[in-house]
């Protein structure tokens, strides 16, 4: 009999997962998640009714992070599939047709005809040890959820929390490296390079946020709660910013300048949130002293500064020259096809002069003679006889642009005049 404190026997069985057929091994999740392992007599056993099944009570644990639920019976995977569909079960259902795993856990009910399994629940910790065992005394007795919940929440501790934090911190540092490189490429209008680096940063920050969150929930020492929670918030904000900026870079690369600028603007909110949070503490600055985990006073150094120092030592200039600032993209008139889709400054001012929300040429817009006033007057010749264009300080419009816009409006006005008569 497997009792609390003993190592849980490992196994691998065919399973039904989300309607598909897979193989599930206990070793796949040991060390990563708490495992709730349930054995039950059979699919559609007498404890099931039209309101629910005997394993349905444990389905609630599938919504809990860092907890995996595995349910085992001697039925085939085809029976499992029907059983899962009937009761809308989310947990994987494993098929132990030969009862080999059940025998190792000593839950085979050989007294009953049909060689069924006893209903039993095991909670296995991150080290693969059984922390809780329950076994039914009758075919209709179901497990209580509360003792299982208490056991799963109690598993962890500071050593586990620090281990998960260390993994998250490694992902965070890699995410910052990629993010810094992406910011430099974004500033230089190297859109494809920026998108790739932002996508890498997004993945690293997402992993970091999950590990930081797990560390926060597993920690037992109050002094760790705030820095672990803060680290998770910072990683999550940078993940959101990297996601928006990757999309912005992709839009700019496709020539959709206005869409790209909109996504860049959306990234400002999570970037601002990240700016307000200190950098995650280096795991090496969290020490064990007198049996209690404490933080060293020097534990507030910025990781990004360490990265920049390393870049300088290697003879590199820190990418972008900034930390979390992403400037509005400025497009020059002679930029290549990557900037297609952005309206020129002249077009923007002409549109705004014509009336907010009114397209050029529509009724209610600017008159043709007012366009030059909106974008700058143009003289054919200067006093010394050289042909030049004289514009207002803020205008970059050419003779051709003014002529084209004015002609288009005059055509529209003529058409409207004829229609009006």
Burial of 327 (0-12, 13-18, 19+ CB in 10 A): exposed
Sheet holding 130-135, edge to edge: 20-25, 12-17, 93-95, 67-73, 34-39, 120-124, 130-135
DSSP per-residue letters across 94-138: EE-TT-HHHHHTT-EETTSTT-EEPPEEEEE-TTSBEEEEEE-SS
Do residues 363 and 416 lie in contact, with contact meaning Cβ atoms separated by under 8 Å?
A: yes
For 69-93, the pLDDT digits (tens) are 999 999 999 999 999 999 888 899 9
pLDDT top residue among 209 and 292 = 209
- Supply the pLDDT for residue 331: 47
- Supply the pLDDT for residue 248: 95
Residue among 383, 362, 365 nearest 374 (CA):
365
- Supply the pLDDT for residue 393: 43
- Supply the pLDDT for residue 350: 40
For 318-337, the pLDDT digits (tens) are 433 335 665 565 544 444 44
Quote the pTM value: 0.54
pLDDT at 403 exceeding the cut of 70: no
Residue among 32, 399, 419, 72 nearest 210 (CA):
32
For 247-286, the pLDDT digits (tens) are 999 999 999 999 999 999 999 999 999 999 999 998 887 8
- Supply the pLDDT for residue 82: 94
pLDDT at 418 exceeding the cut of 60: no
Q: What is the mean pLDDT of residues 213-225?
A: 84
Sign of the Cα torsion 166, 225, 234, 287 reads: negative
Of the ranges 37-51, 89-103, 216-230, the best mean pLDDT one: 89-103
Structure tokens at 205: 């920050």
For 29-61, the pLDDT digits (tens) are 987 889 999 999 989 887 888 878 888 888 888
Do residues 158 and 286 lie in contact, with contact meaning Cβ atoms separated by under 8 Å?
A: no
- Supply the pLDDT for residue 411: 63
Other Cβ atoms less than 10 A from the Cβ of 269: the count is: 13
Reduced to 3 states (helix: H, G, I; strand: E, B; else coil), residue 21 is strand
pLDDT at 304 exceeding the cut of 90: no
pLDDT-derived band at 23 (thresholds 50, 70, 90) equals very high
pLDDT top residue among 186 and 398 = 186
Residues above pLDDT 70, as percent of the chain: 67
- Supply the pLDDT for residue 408: 62
Do residues 83 and 52 lie in contact, with contact meaning Cβ atoms separated by under 8 Å?
A: no
pLDDT at 24 exceeding the cut of 70: yes
Task: Report the range of poorest mean pLDDT among 224-233, 291-300, 349-358.
Answer: 349-358
pLDDT-derived band at 416 (thresholds 50, 70, 90) equals low
pLDDT-derived band at 119 (thresholds 50, 70, 90) equals very high
pLDDT top residue among 148 and 48 = 148
Do residues 172 and 237 lie in contact, with contact meaning Cβ atoms separated by under 8 Å?
A: no
- Supply the pLDDT for residue 280: 93
């Amino acid at each position: 009999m497997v009792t609390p404190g003993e190592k849980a026997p490992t196994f691998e069985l065919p399973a039904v997962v989300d309607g598909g057929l897979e193989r599930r091994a206990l070793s796949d999740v040991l060390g990563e998640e708490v495992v709730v392992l349930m054995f039950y007599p059979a699919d559609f056993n007498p404890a099931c009714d039209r309101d629910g099944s005997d394993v349905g009570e444990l389905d609630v644990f599938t919504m809990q992070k860092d907890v995996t639920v595995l349910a085992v019976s001697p039925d085939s995977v085809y029976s499992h599939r029907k059983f899962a569909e009937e009761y809308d079960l989310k947990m994987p259902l494993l098929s132990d047709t030969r009862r080999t795993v059940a025998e190792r856990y000593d839950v085979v009910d050989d007294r009953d005809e049909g060689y069924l399994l006893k209903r039993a629940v095991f909670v296995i910790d991150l080290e693969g040890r059984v922390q809780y065992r329950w076994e039914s005394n009758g075919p209709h007795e179901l497990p209580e959820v509360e003792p299982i919940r208490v056991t799963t929440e109690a598993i962890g501790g500071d050593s586990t929390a620090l281990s998960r934090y260390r993994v998250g911190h490694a992902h965070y540092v890699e995410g910052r490296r990629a993010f810094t490189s992406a910011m430099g490429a974004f500033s230089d209008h190297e859109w494809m390079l920026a998108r790739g680096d932002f996508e890498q940063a997004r993945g690293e920050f997402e992993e970091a946020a999950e590990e930081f969150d797990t560390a926060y929930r597993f920690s037992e020492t109050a002094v760790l709660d705030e820095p672990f929670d803060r680290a998770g918030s910072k990683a999550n904000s940078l993940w959101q910013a990297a996601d928006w900026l990757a999309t912005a870079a992709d839009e700019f690369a496709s020539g959709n300048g206005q869409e790209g600028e909109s996504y860049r603007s959306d990234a400002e909110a999570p970037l601002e949130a990240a700016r307000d949070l200190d950098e995650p503490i280096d795991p090496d600055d969290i020490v064990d002293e007198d049996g209690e985990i404490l933080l060293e006073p020097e534990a507030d150094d910025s990781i990004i500064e360490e990265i920049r120092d390393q870049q300088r030592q290697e003879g590199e200039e820190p990418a972008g020259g900034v930390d979390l600032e992403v400037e509005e993209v400025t497009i020059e008139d002679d930029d290549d096809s990557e900037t297609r889709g952005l309206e020129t400054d002249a077009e923007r001012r002409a549109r705004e002069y014509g009336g907010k929300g009114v397209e050029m040429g529509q009724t209610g817009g600017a008159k043709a003679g007012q366009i030059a006033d909106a974008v700058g007057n143009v003289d054919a010749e200067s006093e010394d006889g050289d042909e030049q264009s004289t514009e207002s300080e803020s205008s970059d419009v050419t003779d051709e642009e003014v002529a084209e816009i004015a002609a288009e409006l005059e055509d529209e006005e003529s058409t409207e005049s004829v229609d009006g008569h």
